[in-house]
Structure 1
Amino acid sequence: MLAANPCPCARSRGARSADCECPSLVRRRYLARLSGPLLDRIDIQVALTAPSRAELRADAGHAESSTLVADRVAQARQRAEARLAGTPWRVNAQVPGPVLRRRWPLPPRVTNLAERAFERGLLTARGLDRVLRMAWTFADLAGQATPGPAQLGAALDLRLPGWAA
């Protein structure tokens, strides 16, 4: 897991950066310290803004219980383990990309968006593999046998925030 502030003062709150006085050049230099090869090894890349008190209160009644989430994760891990039976891997994150693409290929209608992002240079080969692994995890969480376009799209959104096909 990795987390980074958007600026050196750590007072920026994304859209609500009223407390931050860092010039944009300082922010860019600060974030540039996170190298491309390092970021390429991070599966999920999401920019978060600090929630307001009203947002925290409004969300409190809609959150799932930890028990419910833990049960869903346990079931997803069982699905992955069953699919990976007879291999040296137990979870999607451990499967090498070439093996994932060869042994469990997805149809072009599912991978189309990710392949376009790869062709446009928005994803590296390693990044494409990470998107595929996340899509398999989303399918396992949803109780699906294989990822569909929705799971692959969700994985792409987490890998390339703000990307539009």
Structure 2
Amino acid sequence: MPSPSVAEAAEFHSRALDALRQPLESGHVVIARAAGVVRLPARFLMVLAANPCPCGRHTLHGAGCECPPSVIRRYQARLSGPLLDRVDLRVEVEPVTRCDLLGQGGRGESTAVVADRVRQALERAAARLADTPWRLNSEVPGQELRTRWQAGPGALAPAERDLERGLLTARGLDRVLRVAWTVADLRGRDRPEALDVAVALELRTGIARGAMSLPGAGT
């Protein structure tokens, strides 16, 4: 069989993309027809990739992007705010450097090392959630995370300020908290502290807070 075609997220119709919002939120999809209503499980991991403009060179200095501003706005608007509000991690990918292409850059951790850390984090989360209906941080309702399993004193202060400033929605705050718990599990901590929340916020908003560049920020 031919392999499926792959396209940037912004190449899809906005209505098709927005149809993913309910399954992402509830973990199921509802199909209503004259004969009845069917509710089907639809829990999945969504990974989106998009260029900044149709030609892909809008943010590259000296790259010669000729896309008119109106075209760039329409292209980016296909990823609606409500859909992006359901995306936990947002990472801007920089162009590959010459050193990276020629293998002259520093080598990162091996897959085995990362896999072992992820396994340990999953075990920590499973032990914490053993007597609950949930097994992963992503499944835990925000209300439970705010009341039953609380972050360290003052850890959520930056996220609460972002909420007041309109940089985060209530849904976004819950998702930041879930990611902060995952970061804490990856670091072997009992609960999220200020640095864990800072990492989650930076991954959510794209606003540099110094957390990602700290030694051991990803571990």
Cα distance between partner residues in 1 of 2:196 and 2:49: 24
Aligned to 2:117: 72
Aligned to 2:90: 45
Aligned to 1:3: 49
Q: 1:118 aligns with which of 159, 163, 166?
A: 163
Counterparts in 2 of 1:13-162, with a 5 A limit?
Answer: 14-16=59-61, 18-56=63-101, 57-59=103-105, 61-162=106-207
Give secondary structure in 2 for the equivalent of 1:41.
coil
Deviation at 1:51, TM superposition (A): 1.3
Greater fraction of residues in strand: 2
Cα distance between partner residues in 2 of 1:94 and 1:17: 44
> Which ranges in structure 2 are unaligned for 5 or more consecutive residues?
1-46, 210-219
Per-residue CA deviation, residues 92-142 of structure 1 (Å, 9 max, x unaligned), is 001011111111122451000000000111100110000000000000000
Identity value in percent: 56
User: Highest relative contact order (Cα 8 Å, sep 6+), 1 or 2?
Assistant: 1
CA RMSD of aligned residues (A): 1.7
Greater fraction of residues in helix: 1
Deviation at 1:14, TM superposition (A): 3.5
Cα distance between partner residues in 2 of 1:31 and 1:13: 11
Q: Which amino acid aligns with 1:52?
A: T
**Which contiguous aligned blocks of 4+ residues in structure 1 show a shift greater than 2 angstroms?**
13-17, 55-59
Cα distance between partner residues in 2 of 1:108 and 1:30: 42
Cα distance between partner residues in 1 of 2:74 and 2:125: 41
Q: Which amino acid aligns with 1:80?
A: A
Q: Output the TM-score relative to the length of structure 1.
A: 0.90
> Which ranges in structure 1 are unaligned for 5 or more consecutive residues?
none
Give secondary structure in 1 for the equivalent of 2:133.
coil
* Higher mean C-alpha deviation, range 48-57 or range 83-92: 48-57
